Amino acid sequence: MNIYRMLPAGYAAGLLFMVLAMPQRMVAQAQQRVVTPNDTLVSPEVSPDHRVTFRIYAPKASEVAITGDWISQGRGTGGNLRKDDQGVWSITVGPLVPDFYSYTLTVDPELLVDFASRSIHETAITAKAMIKAYYNQAPHYSYFTGCSGGGGQALSEAQRFPGDYNGIVAGAPANFPTHMWPGELYAAWVTHRDPANMIPNEKLPLIANAVLAACDSLDGVKDGVIGDPRRCNFDPATIQCPGPDGPNCLTAAQVDSVKKIYAGLKDPATGKLFWYGYERSSELGWPGHINNPFNIPLNYFKYMAFQNPNWDWKTFDFTNPKNFALVSEASKKLGPVLDSTDPDLTPFKKLGGKLIQYHGWIDQNISPLNSISYYESVEKTMGGEKVTQDFYRLFLAPGMGHCGGGAGPNTLDGLSALEQWVEQGKAPDQIIATHATGGKVDRARPLCPYPQVAKYKGTGSTDDPANFVCTSESSKSAK
C-alpha cells in the first residue's frame, strides 16, 4: 500500500492519497494518460508485453474536506475498488501476470526485476508526479505499508530506494524468498516422504494443545498464547503412541515429521540452517503447507530456480547433498534480484526515514525468526540498539498468525504509529494490538519494541493492556 499524505492550505485535516500499481516501466506513458484533473479512477494501459496496469483514485476536493483521511489496503492478488460506510476507500490490485510466477518471469529478466523491486519504486515516482499535477503541489509525506509480499516490498524500498517514502510499515516481510520458498516446500516434502509421515489435520489440535500445556505459563500468564515460542522446548515424542496408532497420540513417523518441521531446512552436508522451522504453537496453521505445497514456492522452483514447468517436487530429496546444492545455487543466482536482506540502512536513516516492522509469533507462512534475524543484522551494521531504534523498530505479536488471525491480539495500527513518528517525532514505545470475537474486542495487549516483551504486572485482567509493562528481561538469544 502506498500512501501519500497531503497537507493542502485551508484544510484542517490531511489527505491520505493512495496509489497501487502493478509492475510498470513506461512511466512517461502512464503520466501522459492523465491530461486533465480527473475525479475518477484512472487506469492507464501500459505495455501489453508486460501485462501492466496502474490504478490511482483521485478524491474530489469536496470529499477531502469532509473525510480528511483516506486509507488504502493492498494485496498481492485481486482487483477491486470499494468504499466503506465512513467514506474510506480500499483498493486491491490484480495479479502480476495471468499465471502467478509464470514462464514470462523466466524468459524476461526485466519483468523479474519489475516484480521484485522496480515496480514499487516507479509507482512512487509516477504517483508523486500525478499528485503534483492534479493538486498543483507535491505530497508533504509519503508512506508505504504492506504485509507478506508487501512487507518484502516495504523492506526493498528502504534498502534500494530510500528516498521514496518518509515512513514504511513492513508486516511479516517475505524479504528472503530464495531461502523462504525452499523452506516452505520442505515442510510438504517432510510429510510426503512416505504415507506414514503424513500428519492428519485431525491431529494438529492434539499437538497444539500439548504445546500449550507445556509452555503456556512460561510468560507468566496462562491465556492460550505463548509469549516467546523460542523458550518452549516441547518434545512431540511426549505424545507418541505407546502402541498402535490412535486419535490421541502420534506414531513414530509422525513424531519424526513434527520434529523436522520444527527444526527447519538444513544443508545436509554441513547441518547449517537454510530456513527456519515453524514455531511451536503454530500447528493449527500447518494444513496449507503440509498437505500439499503452497503454490508460490512450487512455482519458484518450476519457473525461476530450475526453469522446468514439469519439475516434480515429490521426486526431489532435500536431504540429498547434490539436490541441495541446486537449491543453494538458485539462491545465489536469484538472490541479488529477489532478496531484500541488505542490513545497511544508512541512506534511509540519513534521509529521516522511519521503519516499523511487525510479525506474528505463530506465522505459518513466514517465520518470525527471519524478522528477528534481519533486525539484528541491521543493529549490528548500524552500530547498536540505540542507534537502530532511532529510526527502525520491530514488534512481535504473540499468538498472531500470518498478517493477522490467531488466538492472540492480532490487529494493530502500525500506520498511525508511523505517522506520529514521522510527523511529530514521537517514537512508538508500544503498539496496542487487539483480538476480536464476533466483531467485539475481547483482548488487548501492548506489543513492545524488540527485544522488549510485555510482562504482566500481576494484578487486573490479562486482557487489559494497562496491566502489562514492556521489559527487556527476555534475551535475544532465547533459543
CATH of the domain at 354: 3.40.50
Task: Check residues 3 and 32 and name the one with the higher pLDDT.
Answer: 3
Do 109 and 55 lie in a common domain? yes
- The cell for 336 is 541479488
Give per-residue pLDDT as tens, 61-96. Answer: 444 433 222 232 333 322 333 344 444 333 333 223
Residue 426 predicted with pLDDT over 90: yes
Do the beta carbons of residue 431 and residue 410 sit within 8 Å? no
- Catalytic option among 119, 148, 156, 281: 148
Looking at per-residue pLDDT, the higher value among 145 and 469 belongs to 469
Q: Which residue has the higher pLDDT, 399 or 1?
A: 399
How far CA 355 is from CA of 143, 153, 158, 304, in Å, comes to 10, 13, 8, 30
Q: Select from 338, 363, 388 the last residue of a domain.
A: 338
Residues 65 and 162 in one domain: yes
Looking at the fold, whether 67 and 148 belong to one and the same domain comes out as yes
Are residues 191 and 163 part of one domain? no
- The catalytic residue among 164, 223, 339, 363 is 363
Are residues 170 and 187 located together in one domain of the fold? no
Q: Are 258 and 371 in a shared domain?
A: no
Instruction: Give a yes or no: residue 478 inside a domain.
Output: no
| 466 in a structural domain | no
How far apart CA 317 and CA 256 sit, in angstroms, is 16
Is the same domain home to 325 and 428? no
Residues 67, 139 share a domain: yes
Q: What is the pLDDT of residue 290?
A: 95
Domain boundary among 280, 311, 338: 338
Q: Are residues 316 and 403 in the same domain?
A: no
86 & 155 share domain:
yes
pLDDT at 292: 87
Q: Which of 295, 315, 338 is the last residue of a domain?
A: 338
In a domain, 123, yes or no: yes
Q: Where are the alpha helices (DSSP H) in 193-268?
A: 204-215, 252-263
Under the banding of pLDDT at 50, 70 and 90, the label for residue 356 is very high
pTM of the predicted protein model: 0.85
Number of domains in the chain: 2
Both 73 and 23 in one domain: the answer is yes
Q: Is 121 a catalytic residue?
A: no
**From 33-37, 45-49, 154-158, the region with the lowest mean pLDDT:** 33-37
Residue 158 maps to a domain: yes
Would you put residue 306 in left (φ > 0), alpha (ψ -120 to 50) or beta? Answer: alpha
Concerning whether 363 is annotated as a catalytic residue, the answer is: yes
Position 303 in a domain:
yes
Q: Domain containing 296: what range?
A: 179-338
What number is the average pLDDT over the span 204-214?
A: 98
Same domain, 224 and 249: yes
148 is catalytic: yes
Residue 13: what pLDDT?
24
444 secondary structure, DSSP code: E
| Catalytic residue chosen out of the listed positions 50, 359, 402, 435 | 402
3-class state of residue 334 by DSSP: helix
